């Protein structure tokens, strides 16, 4: 089922989402599948956080593969380490339609989370995936790119942002 995605300035996008109790994880499979279906229904979307569909839970789905066949779901994600290098790149957000901005992110992060099977998972990410993880974890804390984006320089406009 395709879910409706909350749009800025909906105040629910600004709330801090709650931790998921491990016992509740099995009950989140349908939500995760619906979130992935919603993500795939939007051509350039690469990540979607539960609060964006009105569920204030610390959970997000993502797929950065070009064939859109490598979905992932992370629950209670925490960045446990990152490198010191950052990069600025263009981001959009499914909850801020029509907006693009330059956002600075760590280029490598290690995230600890639960997966949908209720198992602990540690995921190392770099490049676009690291960027998506940081963007989605921001959503879980009520932070959106309007809070941190800089204007896109003219020479980079229209380059085709990935929206998360």
Q: H or E stretch including 138? A: helix 127-140
Residue 149 in contact with Ni ion, rule: CB under 5 A: no
Q: What is the chain's percent helix, strand, coil content, to nearest 5?
A: 30, 30, 40
- Would you state the structure tokens that stand for residue 72, as one six-digit string? 């992932």
CB of 116 to Ni ion, least distance (A): 21
Residue 48 in contact with Ni ion, rule: CB under 5 A: no
CA dihedral sign of residues 154, 139, 109, 160: negative
- 32, 73, 93, 111: residue in contact with Ni ion (rule CB under 5 A): 93
Cβ(56)–Cβ(143) below 8 Å:
no
Closest CA to 53 of 32, 77, 72: 32
Interface with Ni ion (CB under 5 A), residue total: 2
Name the active-site residue from 37, 91, 104, 136: 136
Q: H or E stretch including 152? A: none
Q: Which is nearer to Ni ion, 31 or 49 (CB)?
A: 49
Residue 50 in contact with Ni ion, rule: CB under 5 A: no
Looking at beta carbons, which residue is closest to Ni ion? 93
- Would you state the structure tokens that stand for residue 68, as one six-digit string? 């859109």
Residue 132 in contact with Ni ion, rule: CB under 5 A: no
CB of 135 to Ni ion, least distance (A): 6
Task: Examine the residue annotation and report whether 136 is marked as an active-site residue of this protein.
Answer: yes
CB of 55 to Ni ion, least distance (A): 15
Per CB under 5 A, residues contacting Ni ion are 93, 164
- Catalytic residues, by residue number, are 136
């Amino acid at each position: 089922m395709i879910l409706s995605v909350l749009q800025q300035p909906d105040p629910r996008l600004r709330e801090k989402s709650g931790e998921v109790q491990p016992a509740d994880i099995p009950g989140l499979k349908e939500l995760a599948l619906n979130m992935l279906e919603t993500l795939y229904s939007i051509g350039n979307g690469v990540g979607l956080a539960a609060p964006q569909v009105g569920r204030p839970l610390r959970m997000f789905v993502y797929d950065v593969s070009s064939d859109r066949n490598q979905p992932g779901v992370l629950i209670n994600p925490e960045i446990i380490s990152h490198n010191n290098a950052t990069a600025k790149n263009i981001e959009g957000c499914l909850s801020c339609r029509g907006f693009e901005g330059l956002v600075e992110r760590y280029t490598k992060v290690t995230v600890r989370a639960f997966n949908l099977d209720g198992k602990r998972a540690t995921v190392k990410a770099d490049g676009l995936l690291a960027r998506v993880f940081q963007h989605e974890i921001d959503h879980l804390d009520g932070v959106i790119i309007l809070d941190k984006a800089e204007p896109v320089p003219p020479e980079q406009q229209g380059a085709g942002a990935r929206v998360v």
